[in-house]
Structure 1
Amino acid sequence: MELKKYKLADIAKIEISGVDKKTIEGETPVRLCNFVDVYYNWAITKDKAKRFMIASAKQSEIDRFSIGKGMVAITKDSETKYDIGVATYIADNFDNVVLGYHCALITPNPTIVDGKYLNAFMHTQYIQKYFENNASGSGQRYTLSNDTISNIPVLLPPMEVQRTIGKLLADLDRKIELNRQINDNLEAMAKQLYNYWFVQFDFPNEEGKPYKSSGGAMVWNEKLKREIPKGWSCESLQNICSIKRGASPRPIDEYMDSSCNGMPWVKISDATVSSSPFLTQIKECIIQEGVSKSVRVIPNTLIVSNSATPGIPKFIQLEACVHDGWLVVTNYNEVFTYYLYYVIKMIRQNLLHMASGSIFKNLKTDYLKEFICIIPHMNILELYHKKVEKIMKQILNHQNNTEELTRQRDELLPLLMNGQASVNSD
């Protein structure tokens, strides 16, 4: 396959955004497509944009940095050189979405380069190496200069091939996004069920009717300072389960990727990789020297972040060592599994208020241990567990499928780009 080489500036317009996250009186309200929105998404759609933060921008900024279908955005500045040059495709047109700072907006010349193809090309190892080798800065911050971005070497096949490759990879991403949307809906169902049963107390009574709305007996609980269903009780979390902090063995001055002979190393940065209840992929691995000094967990262990972004619960899905930025929750009756998850998830705002620290918030283990939790009747807990377990299994299946599709997309990418694989009419 013949490939022509261009400089990016010769086939696209490049704008470096400086739109910050502030809302300033007199400016126009906009939704801001931030660094993290670019970093974590293969494509930006209208559905994703609904969740973007609200900020404001000057009209001149709106004119320059409004995103629209066919454009590509890339991350420009970050703490590590591996997080710059990450691209996303703008899949829809928007009325009020602007690209935020630390990012660059690329508008391809549609007669020369297809936006979907350009986005895919920006994800290749060839270009990532270019960014790593040409990033400026050290220590605290790395950046791509305007010249570095303008001189990106872009290899282009004929337009028909570009469109075919771009469409195939975009179709895979749409399936990945559909899985995420299904999982969002499934988790919303599980959360709503928790609210109905354990916040509004409209769990099914003996006749299958909502308990409180049907006149079910409520009694005052002095510890909780509220009414709860008759026969229910309350306990501190430490009387329901064991809670202990992870560990950071020192000195350990070498952390390696997943190919090392140690174990997966769950760090606090893994807390916000996705909103899923399940943590299935770990970025780093701790060397063998540190494994024996670490807190190890088995698959499906419940862990809760306690620093930087405290109060995020996750079920880890692999055997791993846990950093001291996490709390490990164990030794509870199986029927409490998903109930505990949503108890912690629903009280997160309270936990954030309790957390200390001016830059990185830290949650003291005792706060979680001493939290007073409602204890429903066991038959209600068992019924809730059975219902939510089915939902959670579906979420995990979709998440595993998403990760497999992502692997397929990433494996296909270099093969398609260098001509080792082609897309037939099927």
Structure 2
Amino acid sequence: MSWASAKIGDIAEVVTKGTTPTTYGMPFTDSGVNFIKAEALNGDTSLDRSGFTFVSESTHEKLKRSILNEHDVLLTIAGAQVGRCGFVRAAHLPANTNQAVGIVRVKRECAHPAFVYYYFKNPLTFQKFQGLGGQAAQPNINLTMLKGVELPLPDIRTQDAIVEILSAYDDLIETNRRRIALLEEAARMLYREWFVYFRFPSHEHIKITDGLPEGWERRTLDKIAENNCESYRAKELPEEIDYIDISSVAHGSVVSKTRMPAVEAPGRARRKVRDGDVIWSNVRPNLRAYALILDPDDLDVVSTGFTVLSASLVPFSWLYMFVTTDSFVGHLINHATGVGYPAVRSDDFERAEVLLPPKALLDHFHEATEPNLRLIRKLDQQNQKLAQARDLLLPRLMNGEIAV
């Protein structure tokens, strides 16, 4: 099948880039208009909100060039991740973006904006962008180069059909993500209500002395959980492993694994994990690279760059909620050492103070939250399978191998 081709500059009404407000003396803020950094571009139609910050409404209006519209296609044009793309949905707006992000606003009469996004998302296109960026320490794609990129362009009906197929996967993934977010927030709200605000069942009958409800104890984390309790020797590794390193973890779950022969595994591939373990990256704790491990596969092996926490005196549900609170993250940040690569040690986890509730209350919390945490795991697995199926189809649809 032969398709026409067109340059990005010919099918776009706007090809520009973002603006960094601090360059003009305008600060970021704690709330306000979404400001999308390059880190938010994960090649997904659902931009990674951990890569968002905020600017004021007045700053947003002053940065007119980079005010985003629904259906804008975004592309990382500077840095090591040159070529990573994203797609602006109504839920992201109002929004602005920075100078490391290119903005392509497609003319609808020429092309479907989502078709252009899926072309950018194609792994072959990503490789092309990486090549355009060059091999410098700071790779860069300028706007002239971006406008000159050619893409295959079938008729609008074919574009619409391809988008309909691929977006069906993305819509299912997004629905599952919303369910996951609601389930996680429900568990966190219950944790805060019972264990932060002390409004647990029958709390009105419990006396509080020195900030501690009767029957509760002050402990340290090492008294309620073990860390790094199981590791492989090199000769003990399975013949093949599914390696989990720090880049494999995001949003409280393992988002990817690398299958490899044990003989090719890095020296850090040593940690064993069990059902209910929590893995926490030792480096840059402010990035919150942690995950709850449920139903691990036999081949799973975790990097020694993680501390693996195994609940002993408390249910895993409570341990997971405790070690992912803002106060616990703050404890790790305060104990991190090193300027360019701040890191914590396992004993920094162990020294964290814990207000330990009675066993009956812990069990009650586990009964209420474990089913939701396991459902989150199932939904996450569904999303990974949906993404794999979509990514298998994408290049074959985009080169016309599969007719629509």
The alpha-carbon distance between structure 1 residues 93 and 405, as it changes in their structure 2 partners (threshold 3 A), is: closer
- Is 2:153 the partner of 1:156? yes
Distance of 1:249 and 1:339 partners within structure 2: 31
* Cα distance in 1 for residues equivalent to 2:162 and 2:85: 16
Structure 1 partner of 2:283: 307
1:406 to 387, 391, 398: 387
Q: Deviations over 1:319-347 (max 9, x none)?
A: 433333311123625x5211111111122
For 1:186-212, what per-residue CA distance to the aligned partner results, in whole angstroms no more than 9, with x for missing partners? 11110111112212222223xxxxx1x
- Partner amino acid, structure 2, of 1:385: H
2:6 partner SS: strand
Instruction: Judge conservation of contact 1:116–1:167 (CA < 8 Å) in 2.
Output: no
* Consecutive unaligned residues in structure 1, runs of 5 or more: 206-210, 221-225, 251-259
Q: Which residue identity lines up with residue 37 of structure 2 in the other structure?
A: N
SS in 2 for 1:386: helix
Summarize the Cα distance change of 1:165–1:332 in structure 2 as closer, same or farther, 3 Å threshold: same
Match of 2:353 in 1: 372
Query: Distance in 2 between the 1:305 and 1:26 partners?
Result: 33
- Structure 1 pair 409/370, CA: closer, same or farther in 2 (3 Å)? same
- The answer to whether the 8 A contact 1:262-1:291 is kept is no
What is residue 128 of structure 1 aligned with on the other side? 126
Identity within the alignment, %: 19
Go from structure 1 to structure 2 and tell me whether the alpha carbon gap of 1:297 and 1:32 turns closer, same or farther (over 3 Å shift): same
* Residue matched to 2:303: 323
CA contact 2:245–2:305 (8 Å) conserved in 1: yes
More displaced, 338-347 or 316-325? 316-325
State the partner residue of 1:336: 315
Aligned partner (choices 152, 170, 187) of residue 173 of structure 1? 170
Would you say 1:263 and 2:241 are equivalent positions? Answer: yes
Match of 2:254? 279
Give the Å deviation of 1:360: 2.1
Indicate the SS of the match to 2:332.
helix
CA distance in 2, matches of 1:404, 1:72: 25
Residue number in structure 2 paired with 1:113: 111
Deviations 1:342-386 (A, max 9, x none): 111122122212222222221232221122212222222112112
Q: Does 1:7 align with 2:7?
A: yes
Given the alignment, which residue of 9, 31, 35 partners 1:32? 35
Secondary structure of the residue aligned to 2:206 is coil
In structure 2, the CA distance between the partners of 1:93 and 1:400, relative to structure 1 (3 Å rule), is: closer
How far apart, in 1, do the equivalents of 2:397 and 2:64 lie? 35
- Provide the C-alpha distance between the structure 2 equivalents of 1:388 and 1:41, rounded to a whole number of angstroms: 29
Q: Distance in 2 between matches of 1:279 and 1:93?
A: 25
Instruction: Please tell me whether residue 184 in structure 1 is matched to residue 181 in structure 2.
Output: yes
- Residues 88, 371 of structure 1: alpha-carbon distance in 2 compared, 3 angstrom cutoff: closer
| Deviations 1:88-130 (CA, angstroms, capped at 9, x unpaired) | 2223397642222211111112221110111111122332232
Structure 2 residue 285 is matched with structure 1 residue 295: no
Whether the aligned pair in 2 keeps the contact of 1:186 and 1:391 (CA below 8 Å) is yes
Which letter maps to 1:203? F
Q: Compute the displacement of 1:154 (Å).
A: 0.8
Shift of 1:183: 0.8
Cα 1:187–1:331 change in 2 (3 A) is: closer
Is 304-313 or 364-373 further displaced after alignment?
Answer: 304-313
Question: 1:253 matched to which residue of 2?
Answer: none
